[in-house]
């Protein structure tokens, strides 16, 4: 791994929990080997573009890495309903790409999150989209979802020898009743199983943040606590 820069960010308002400050340990890297990516994921490190990061917040440990062991996963009753609700969605997995349809879908999704969940404003242009989702340090897949010929969701997923890693997903806000976010994770779990992977990494579980708490519903799942991966709920005091 070639590291071009390494730093710890200045404190800033936490995007997950209001009233708290956050800091990140950040590395700007070149390409990662599959083994390096597996090691980073196992250590709780996340990736966006060519940036590796993990929280290093003073007095707060609420960002807990979470992953799903795909061999043991079985969808819950409510997740099975989501699968049935979306039987008419066409799913394709391929190479990442960019066009105006993707960009406009991302904007609609983000604007809805700004209104309903207080996300910071973002008006991503084509160049920023490429930097975020196409210029990747590791091999990345694009999951594409269409309904009646219209693209209704897009997700980006890293692939390494032992895992898939869910990076980012966005979907049509007008179809909220379909549960497209849940549907996408279920598709990613099945894709990981199909490719013979051990885990699907879901990023951080953050209690008290509605945008992150949903991840605990994909059980059995594991969280990284004290440097060890343990099953969520295995201990009375564990989340």
Residue 58: its pLDDT value, please?
A: 87
**Whose structure tokens read 């809805």?**
112
- pLDDT exceeds 70 at position 235: no
pLDDT digits (tens, 9 = 90+) for 169-186: 999 999 989 999 999 999
- Which pLDDT band holds residue 238 (cuts at 50, 70, 90)? very low
Phi, psi of 94 (to 5 degrees): -155, -160
pLDDT digits (tens, 9 = 90+) for 17-67: 988 999 999 999 998 999 999 999 999 999 988 999 999 998 888 999 999
Domain boundaries, the chain: 3-231
- pLDDT exceeds 70 at position 237: no
Residue 68: its pLDDT value, please?
A: 98
Residue 211: its pLDDT value, please?
A: 81
Q: How far is CA 145 from the centre of its chain?
A: 16
Query: What is the token pair recorded at 194?
Result: 């199909």
Q: Count CB neighbours of 152 within 10 A.
A: 19
Residue 146: its pLDDT value, please?
A: 97
pLDDT digits (tens, 9 = 90+) for 104-122: 999 999 888 877 777 667 7
**Mean pLDDT in residue range 127-155:** 94
Percentage of the chain lying above the pLDDT 70 cut: 96
Average pLDDT, the chain: 92
Beta bridge partners of 159: 164
Return d(Cα 72, Cα 56) in angstroms, integer: 32
For residues 170 and 32, the answer to whether their CB atoms sit within 8 Å is no
- Which pLDDT band holds residue 210 (cuts at 50, 70, 90)? confident
CATH number for 3-231: choose from 3.90.950.20, 3.30.70.3450, 3.40.630.30, 3.30.43.10: 3.40.630.30
């Amino acid at each position: 791994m070639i590291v071009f820069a390494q730093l710890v960010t200045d404190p800033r308002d936490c995007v997950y929990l209001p009233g708290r400050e956050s800091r990140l340990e950040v590395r700007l890297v070149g390409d990662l080997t599959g083994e390096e990516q597996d090691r980073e994921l196992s250590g709780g490190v996340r990736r966006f573009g060519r940036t590796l990061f993990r929280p290093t917040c003073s007095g707060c440990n609420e960002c807990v890495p979470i992953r799903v062991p795909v061999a043991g996963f079985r969808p819950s009753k409510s997740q099975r309903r989501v699968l049935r609700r979306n039987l008419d969605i066409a799913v394709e997995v391929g190479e990442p790409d960019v066009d105006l349809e993707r960009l406009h879908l991302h904007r609609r999704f983000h604007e809805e999150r700004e209104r309903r969940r207080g996300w910071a404003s973002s008006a991503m242009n084509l160049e920023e989209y490429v930097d975020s989702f196409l210029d990747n340090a590791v091999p990345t897949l694009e999951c594409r979802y269409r309904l009646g010929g219209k693209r209704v969701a897009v997700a980006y997923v890293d692939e390494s020898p032992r895992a898939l890693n869910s990076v980012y997903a966005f979907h049509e806000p007008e179809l909220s009743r379909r549960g497209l976010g849940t549907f996408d994770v279920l598709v990613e779990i099945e894709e990981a199983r199909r490719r013979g992977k051990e885990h699907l990494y879901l990023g951080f579980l953050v209690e008290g943040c509605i945008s992150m708490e949903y991840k605990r519903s994909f059980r059995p799942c594991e969280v990284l606590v004290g440097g060890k991966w343990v099953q969520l709920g295995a201990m009375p005091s564990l989340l």
